[in-house]
Amino acid sequence: MTWLKPVQIDADAQAAYNEFLRDLEARLADPATDRNVLAREVLAQAMYGREYGQLLADAPLAALNLDARNVTFEAEYYLATDAERFARVKPLLWLWKNLDLTPVGQNPVTGIPTRRLLAGHIFRRVGRDFKCWQNVEFSVGYNMEVGDNVVVHRHVLLDDIGGIELHDYASLSDYVNVYSHTHSVLDGPDVTLRKTVIGRGARITYHSTVLAGSVVSDDAMLATHALLRGDIPPHGIAMGLPARVTRFKDRPRPEAYVVDSRTYPHDAGRKANPAFPDPTPNQSRLPGEGDL
Ligand SMILES: CC(C)(COP(=O)(O)OP(=O)(O)OC[C@H]1O[C@@H](n2cnc3c(N)ncnc32)[C@H](O)[C@@H]1OP(=O)(O)O)[C@@H](O)C(=O)NCCC(=O)NCCS
């Protein structure tokens, strides 16, 4: 059951938005589309109301910054980033981030379906009805695996460099951080990547943080402002810093779980920096090695 109600806008405006979305969908689906050109054209229209070529003539600094080939992302400085895969998604991530600075992105009527379209061409996998609100950040985008009916609210950071799975009906509230990389306490450049898993129907509530390698089971909940550095078993509610399971939701148990941290195959982790090939002996315990 949903707690949201339908909201209508002016029919002519909706028709214009639908046309924009159909055009974007067709251009994204066309293998001949140059994604860098597509992104800069859409941004020139959305941000400056004119064609890219005209903008380049009028305001070169503004125009050049709309073309993803002229900008860098933090992820491009990571050793762990696959340059080829990132180059494919980079213009679409640039489009996503910059549309969020415009009314097109801030308006859910245009922003949510636009992001749904882009996710289909950025993520490793995305299911039906992905609903992503504005100002969400990814590390590389291509390591996101998203199921059906997943909701991501405002200002969420999805550090997917080591992989993030969001299973069906998972929900991430405002200002949540989900990480999939960590640094050795002894050597900052010693980076370990571990996939982080958020189970079916799990809720990560506002301002909480999930550290790399954590497995949040189906129907589990992470309380607001909690810091998770391990797992939450099915139906568990974890809270605090560090988060501990304090109780379980009282509801009928299903016959099987999609994600059960007690049996789910945890990502053993892999080093991102060839200068640190082996686990360091004094490294502190990594999260995800047992339920809280
Ligand atoms: C997990 C949560 C639901 C608990 O709320 P609750 O069941 O009403 O809990 P209560 O207020 O009855 O508090 C029970 C105990 O937990 C503690 N507690 C509650 N929330 C806590 C939190 N976020 N962190 C640490 N302790 C917390 C209380 O201090 C209390 O401790 P006590 O028994 O020692 O007095 C709430 O903290 C939370 O995270 N809400 C987020 C809401 C949400 O769903 N957001 C997503 C929407 S987009």
| Residue 83 counted as domain residue | yes
For a mutational test of ligand 1's pocket, the pick from 235, 237, 239, 244, i.e. the residue with the most ligand atoms closer than 8 A to its C-beta, is 239
C-alpha 150/C-alpha 172 separation (Å) is 8
| Residue 140 counted as domain residue | yes
Ligand 1 midpoint to CA 226 (Å): 10
The pTM of the full predicted model, rounded to 2 decimals, is 0.94
Report the share of the chain in percent with pLDDT over 90. Answer: 92
Question: C-alpha distances in angstroms, 13 versus 19, 100, 163?
Answer: 10, 19, 38
Q: What are phi and psi of 152, to 5 degrees?
A: -125, 120
| Residue 9 counted as domain residue | no
Ligand 1 midpoint to CA 1 (Å): 22
Q: Are residues 280 and 141 in the same domain?
A: yes
**Residue 234: CA atoms inside 13 Å, Cβ hemisphere, count?**
16
| Average model confidence (pLDDT) across the chain | 95
Span 197-227, pLDDT tens digits: 999 999 999 999 999 999 999 999 999 999 9
Q: Are residues 118 and 128 in the same domain?
A: no
CATH for 281 = 2.160.10.10
Q: Are residues 284 and 163 in the same domain?
A: yes
Q: Are residues 127 and 223 in the same domain?
A: yes
Tally of structural domains, the chain: 2
Instruction: Say if residues 228 and 238 touch (Cβ distance below 8 Å).
Output: yes
Question: C-alpha distances in angstroms, 157 versus 6, 105, 164, 189, 214?
Answer: 27, 17, 11, 21, 16
Q: Are residues 283 and 250 in the same domain?
A: yes
Q: Are residues 176 and 64 in the same domain?
A: no
Tell me what pLDDT residue 288 has: 47
Q: Which atom of ligand 1 is nearest to the CA of 223?
A: 39
* Segment 169-176 mean pLDDT: 98
- Where a domain ends, among 122, 139, 167? 122
**DSSP track, 187-229:** -TT-EEE--EEE-TT-EE-TT-EE-TT-EEPTT-EE-TT-EE-
Can you name the residues that pair with 160 across neighbouring β-strands?
A: none
SS3 105: helix
Q: Are residues 181 and 235 in the same domain?
A: yes
Q: Which residue is it, tokens 């990547």?
A: 193
Ligand 1 pocket, Cβ-based, cut-off 6 angstroms: 153, 173, 203, 205-206, 221, 223-226, 237, 239-240
| Residue 250 counted as domain residue | yes
- Where a domain ends, among 107, 122, 137? 122
Q: Which residue is it, tokens 């996503």?
A: 96
pLDDT-based confidence at residue 244 (cuts at 50, 70, 90): very high
Q: Are residues 234 and 92 in the same domain?
A: no
Ligand 1 midpoint to CA 212 (Å): 23
Tell me what pLDDT residue 282 has: 53
* Segment 105-120 mean pLDDT: 98
Q: Which residue is it, tokens 């400085």?
A: 77
Q: Are residues 269 and 141 in the same domain?
A: yes
Ligand 1 midpoint to CA 199 (Å): 20
Q: Are residues 97 and 136 in the same domain?
A: no
Q: Are residues 105 and 140 in the same domain?
A: no
Ligand 1 midpoint to CA 243 (Å): 12
Q: Are residues 76 and 167 in the same domain?
A: no
C-alpha 145/C-alpha 150 separation (Å) is 11
| Residue 4 counted as domain residue | no
- Where a domain ends, among 122, 148, 178? 122
C-alpha 209/C-alpha 160 separation (Å) is 14
